[in-house]
Amino acid sequence: MFNLHERKQSKVFNRRTFFLLSVKLGIFSVIGWRFFDLQILNSKKYKTLSKKNQINVAIIYPVRGEIRDRNNIVIASNKKVYDLYIIPEQTNNLENTLNNLNDYIEISFKQKRKIINLSEKVKKFESIKIIEDLNWKDLEVIETNKIHLDGLHLEEDFQRIYPGNNAFSHILGYISQPDKKEVNLPYISKMPKLDIGKTGLEKYLNEDLIGIAGKKEIEVNSYGRVIREISLDPSQKGKNLQITIDSRLQKFTFDELQSHKAGSIVVLDINSGEILSMVSTPSFNPNLIIKKPNVEYWKSLLGNPLSPLTFRSVQGLYSPGSTFKMIVALAALKHKLVNPKTTTFCNGKIEYGDRLYHCWKTKGHGKMNLENAIKESCDVYFYELSKKIGINKMATVAYELGLGQAYDIGLENEKKGIIPSKKWKKENLNENWYAGETLNAAIGQGYSLSNPLQLAVMIARFASNGKKITPTLFKRNDEVIFGQIEYLSQFSNIIKDALFKAVNEQKGTAYKSKSNDYFFSGKTGTSQVKKITQAERESEEFRKKTIEWKNKDHALFVGYAPSKNPKYAISVIIEHGGSGASTAAPIVKRTFDYIMKLKI
């Protein structure tokens, strides 16, 4: 009995032991598997999680690339600046430190309160910016007295600068921080405080100029305090880019405009289409726009009725005036409706329909052929010619000569203007074309609108005997092969002879601006702003009256130099400048003088 009982107890014990051992083995197996999972299978994952808990990644913003002119002169660059910061925990008393700083550099009460309030919201070891872009005098004062200014330190930064100030502003534009839409652009990535181009080439070339961000890995404790730097991947500066503008010529043409309230000058290299100068006034100083605070300066720009932010060279639209007469002459020659000997008698006006169409020369030019009509800018000759041609043929030639088109030169809001035709009027105004409107169009009035760049392209195509020159702001290193306007090469000499005489012979509208050192050719234009009634024309009092600036005609000139083997094309528009002969032509002469001197 006893042995049997013992055997039964032994069996129970063995079963319990086996069960307990199995449970222990299972537990250790689970623990072992978990260790294997953590240390081997998913080690990378959990190392990363651990790293994220301990390591912060700081983005290192890249330095923006430079923009240079055709001669490698810097026209948009960066300067090293120093910003002043304070770390609250490194001061015995934040307010006392700010008061001490005020003994050397003026800090307003409002600014002090702002810094103190901000210090209560951030961690005590975090830096707070006090002053941006310290001048050298203030830097020297701080360095000399830093023993009395606990908690202060300087940090380097870079600020965009534009050495040419207003002269390049419309072409280059300016930079500022991205808005809500721009912050998602791929090339900005995770840099919400990165300044980017907002207008002009700064905007168009953003992707190349911005550069590549770097990063710095830093170990921080649970409070966010930096323990050490782990790794550093430096940023890469943006590309330095070159454009076609000659900064010497740009400054010269800009200065030429400063005696006028508003206007534009465009100069092209005829062989390449490269834009050598393109200026517009009034202008703005991008250095003042990017400097903070800039609220008052912005208000002055936005409140200026002459719109200094408008780039008139590509966004301003003007009636081309008598510069359009070349188009009319070419259309007539193309369709064999006129020849160089075709004459018309000008007595100062013609009657067409129920109204009179006047020539600018009230007593008339007398007997005119095509060449003299261009040379002396006879309106009556072109009124008569337009009746033979019709508006549609004129419009076709105008387009082929470069008007009515936008050119992809990297600038926003470039205006196409208007080259009117029967179809255009029907589609845009839902009206039929009237015959009298053709006469207005023939002298560049009525619906016709062009910008200064288009007019420069037009005269360049004439000067090159019909090459389809297109403008660019980017260097064309290889020889450019432009298409050809075939019919223009047949008739270009007829028109070019007239343009030569318009400048270099007596009775030419620009004769007073001729050069004694070289020959240039061109055509004056006067764009009427205010309609003159018949009664006003006949009034002696009206003719003597001083015309208010806003009611004066716009002054235009398009031309090229030298007359033989032309290299440079130019268009000048002076808003409310009066006549092209008295205002625009002298500017062209001085500009060509400067170009010939420089031998650009």
Q: How many CA atoms lie within 13 A of 9 on its CB side?
A: 6
Structural domain includes residue 150: yes
The two counts, helices (H) then strands (E), for the chain are 23, 19
φ and ψ at residue 582, rounded to 5 degrees: -90, -25
Q: Looking at the structure, do residues 228 and 261 belong to the same domain, yes or no?
A: no
* Residues 94/118, Cβ–Cβ less than 8 Å: no
For 41-51, how does the pLDDT look when each residue is reduced to its tens digit (9 = 90+)? 665 554 544 54
Return the minimum-mean-pLDDT range out of 204-218, 267-281, 497-511.
204-218
DSSP designation for 582: I
On the question of pLDDT at 543 being above 50, the answer is no
Percentage of the residues of the chain whose pLDDT score is greater than 90: 62
Distances in Å between the alpha carbon of 340 and those of 387, 441, 493, 495, 570? 18, 22, 11, 9, 26
Going by pLDDT thresholds of 50, 70 and 90, the confidence category of residue 4 is very low
Q: Looking at the structure, do residues 262 and 234 belong to the same domain, yes or no?
A: no
The mean per-residue pLDDT over the stretch 503-530 comes to 95
Domains in the chain, number:
3
Two tokens, residue 225: 């305090």
Structural domain includes residue 197: yes
For 57-113, how does the pLDDT look when each residue is reduced to its tens digit (9 = 90+)? 888 889 999 999 999 999 999 999 988 888 888 888 888 888 888 888 888 888 888
Q: By residue range, what is the domain housing residue 123?
A: 59-242
Structural domain includes residue 166: yes
Specify which residues 74 forms β-bridges with.
Answer: 68
Residue 377 backbone zone (phi > 0: left; psi -120 to 50: alpha; other: beta): left
d(CA 491, CA 453): 24
Q: Looking at the structure, do residues 312 and 451 belong to the same domain, yes or no?
A: yes
Boundary of a domain, candidates 214, 242, 270: 242
Q: Looking at the structure, do residues 361 and 478 belong to the same domain, yes or no?
A: yes
Q: Tell me, what CATH number does 262's domain have?
A: 3.40.710.10
- Stated pTM of the model: 0.85
On the question of pLDDT at 365 being above 60, the answer is yes
* Residues 242/156, Cβ–Cβ less than 8 Å: no
Q: Looking at the structure, do residues 442 and 338 belong to the same domain, yes or no?
A: yes
Structural domain includes residue 491: yes
DSSP letters spanning 469-489: ---BSB---SPP---B-HHHH
On the question of pLDDT at 541 being above 70, the answer is no
Q: Tell me, what CATH number does 120's domain have?
A: 3.90.1310.10
Q: Looking at the structure, do residues 225 and 295 belong to the same domain, yes or no?
A: no
The chain-wide mean pLDDT, for the chain, equals 89
Q: Looking at the structure, do residues 201 and 267 belong to the same domain, yes or no?
A: no
Going by pLDDT thresholds of 50, 70 and 90, the confidence category of residue 39 is low
d(CA 446, CA 420): 9
Structural domain includes residue 46: no
Structural domain includes residue 52: no
Two tokens, residue 29: 């197996």
Structural domain includes residue 501: yes
Boundary of a domain, candidates 242, 260, 292: 242
Q: Looking at the structure, do residues 497 and 483 belong to the same domain, yes or no?
A: yes
Burial of 157 (0-12, 13-18, 19+ CB in 10 A): middle
Going by pLDDT thresholds of 50, 70 and 90, the confidence category of residue 126 is confident
DSSP letters spanning 105-143: S---HHHHHHHHHHHTTS-TTS-EEEESS--HHHHHHHH
Structural domain includes residue 394: yes
d(CA 56, CA 58): 6
Residues 6+ apart with CB under 8 A from 117: none
Specify which residues 216 forms β-bridges with.
Answer: 58, 232
Q: Looking at the structure, do residues 211 and 255 belong to the same domain, yes or no?
A: no
Residue 359 backbone zone (phi > 0: left; psi -120 to 50: alpha; other: beta): beta
Q: Looking at the structure, do residues 149 and 287 belong to the same domain, yes or no?
A: no
Q: Looking at the structure, do residues 208 and 263 belong to the same domain, yes or no?
A: no
The gap from C-alpha 455 to its chain's centroid, in whole angstroms, comes to 19
d(CA 149, CA 99): 10
**Length, in residues, of the chain:** 600
Q: Looking at the structure, do residues 181 and 286 belong to the same domain, yes or no?
A: no
